[in-house]
Amino acid sequence: MKASRVTRVVKILTALQAEEKCTVDDLAKMFNTSRRTVFRDLKELQAIGVPYRFDSANQSYAVDPEFFLPPIDLNLQEAFSLLLLVHKAGKKLQLPFRNSALLAGLKIENNLPTKIRQHCSISLRNISTKVTPQAPMSQLDKVFATIQKAIDKKQKLTLCYKSLFESQIITTEFCPYHLLYNKRAWYVLGYSKMHKAIRTFKLNRVIELTKLDKLFIDTGGFDIDEHFGRAWSMIPEGRLYNIKLRFLPKVAHNVTEVLWHDTQQYQFQDDGSVIMEFRIDGINEISWWILGYGDQVQVLTPKVLKEKIVKIAKNMIKFNEEI
C-alpha cells in the first residue's frame, strides 16, 4: 500500500471510530477524495482485519469504538519487511525526512526481541537493493514539508519554478492537491493560476515557495487516478490510442514479466515473438519506452506512432553520423 493511502486509511479508521456513522459521501468530503477512492480504502481496511460494518438502511459505515490496533508486537516477517525497507531501499531512495525514517527504524529494531533482531541482522547482510538513478534534491525535506502542510491546510502558495516546457523561470499562484513519487523524482500536482489548469511540477525544479494568507476550496475532490486516466505514465494528451507492438524473441519474455499499463494484453507467437497491446491516452510518453528496446520492437499500430518512432530513429542516426 502506498504511504499516502496508508495515512488516509488510518484516518478513515479514526473517523469511523469517532463518528456514530459515516456514508461514503461523508468520507469523500472529509478527506477530499472521490467515492471510488473511499471504496478502495474500505477494502484495504477489510484486508487488514478491521471489523467495520455497513448499515444498509442508512447507507453508512461504522467501526466498533472498542476496536483498536494492537501495540507494536512484530512477528519475524513483519520485522524483517520493515527493516529491509529502512536499511536497504530507504537509504537509496529520495525519501523526504529520510534520516527521521532511519532513526524510527533503528528505534523499532532496538526494541525487537533478541532472537528476531539477530535473525534480521544476519539475513540482511546477504540482501542488496539496486534502485534506478534518482533526481538529487538537497532541499527535499524543506520543500516537501511546506507543500505537505499547504495541502493539509488547503493553503495557497506562490511557486517560483524552472519550467522546461516554457523554457524559462515562471511564477504562479498555486493550489497544491497531491504529492507523487514517480519516474525517479517527486512531483506536486495542483491548480496553477498562470496555466488556468491542474499542472504537475517537479520538486527539484522548484526555486522558491512562499505561503500565502489565502485558502483554496477543492469543490470536486482531486483523485490522482482519475487525473492521469489512461496516460502511459503522467501526461494524458486527451486522445485514446490502440497500441499494438511486436517484440522479438530475444526480449519477448522479459517485456511480458512487467505490468507496464493496466490495459496490457499480450499473445506469444509461433516464432517466439510476442504481440503486446495497450489502450492508452497519448503517444509521446510511450514513444521513449519503445525506443529503449531499439531494434527488438516493431510498431504495428497506430500509423501515427509508427511514423513518430521512425522519425526519431532517423534523427538519431543522422545526429550520430555527423559526429
Whether the predicted pLDDT of 47 surpasses 80: no
What is the distance, to the nearest Å, from the Cα of residue 275 to the centroid of all Cα atoms in its chain? 28
- pLDDT confidence of 1, banded at 50, 70, 90? very low
Where do runs of H (alpha helix) occur along the chain? 3-18, 24-30, 35-47, 76-84, 98-110, 114-124, 140-153, 224-228, 249-256, 284-291, 303-321
Which of 179, 166, 183, 172 minimizes the C-alpha distance to 207? 172
> Do 248 and 203 share a structural domain?
no
- Domain of 205? 140-228
Residue at a domain's end among 228, 250, 278: 228
> Do 224 and 244 share a structural domain?
no
The lowest-confidence range among 50-64, 162-176, 250-264 is 50-64
Look up the CATH number of the domain holding residue 201: 2.30.30
With respect to residue 130, please indicate whether it lies within any of the assigned structural domains.
no
Whether the predicted pLDDT of 2 surpasses 60: no
Is omega for the bond preceding 70 within 30 degrees of 0, making it cis? no
Whether the predicted pLDDT of 193 surpasses 90: yes
Residues 94, 185 contacting (CB under 8 angstroms): yes
Triad 23, 25, 26: Cα angle to 5°: 65
Q: Which cell goes with 149?
A: 502542510
Please report how many Cα atoms fall inside a 13 Å half-sphere around the Cα of residue 188, on the Cβ side. Answer: 25
Which comes out higher in pLDDT, residue 67 or 222? 222
Whether the predicted pLDDT of 255 surpasses 90: yes
- pLDDT confidence of 250, banded at 50, 70, 90? very high
Residue at a domain's end among 193, 228, 263: 228
Q: Which cell goes with 68?
A: 483498536
Whether the predicted pLDDT of 168 surpasses 90: yes
Rounded Cα distance between 80 and 87, Å, is: 10
Whether the predicted pLDDT of 247 surpasses 60: yes
With respect to residue 54, please indicate whether it lies within any of the assigned structural domains.
yes
Which pLDDT value is given to residue 22?
Answer: 84
> Do 146 and 220 share a structural domain?
yes
With respect to residue 282, please indicate whether it lies within any of the assigned structural domains.
yes
What is the distance, to the nearest Å, from the Cα of residue 128 to the centroid of all Cα atoms in its chain? 23
The lowest-confidence range among 17-26, 186-195, 213-222 is 17-26
Q: What is the pLDDT of residues 68-81, one digit of tens each?
A: 655 567 788 888 88
Which pLDDT value is given to residue 3?
Answer: 43
Q: What is the pLDDT of residues 86-121, one digit of tens each?
A: 777 766 677 788 777 777 777 777 778 888 888 888
- pLDDT confidence of 7, banded at 50, 70, 90? low
Residues 179, 144 contacting (CB under 8 angstroms): yes
Which pLDDT value is given to residue 45?
Answer: 78
Rounded Cα distance between 194 and 182, Å, is: 24
> Do 298 and 221 share a structural domain?
no
Whether the predicted pLDDT of 210 surpasses 80: yes
Residue at a domain's end among 170, 205, 228: 228
User: In total, how many domains does the chain have?
Assistant: 4
- pLDDT confidence of 194, banded at 50, 70, 90? very high
pTM of the model: 0.71
Average pLDDT estimate for 243-260? 97
In the DSSP assignment, the letter for residue 71 is P
Rounded Cα distance between 220 and 217, Å, is: 9
Which comes out higher in pLDDT, residue 269 or 52? 269
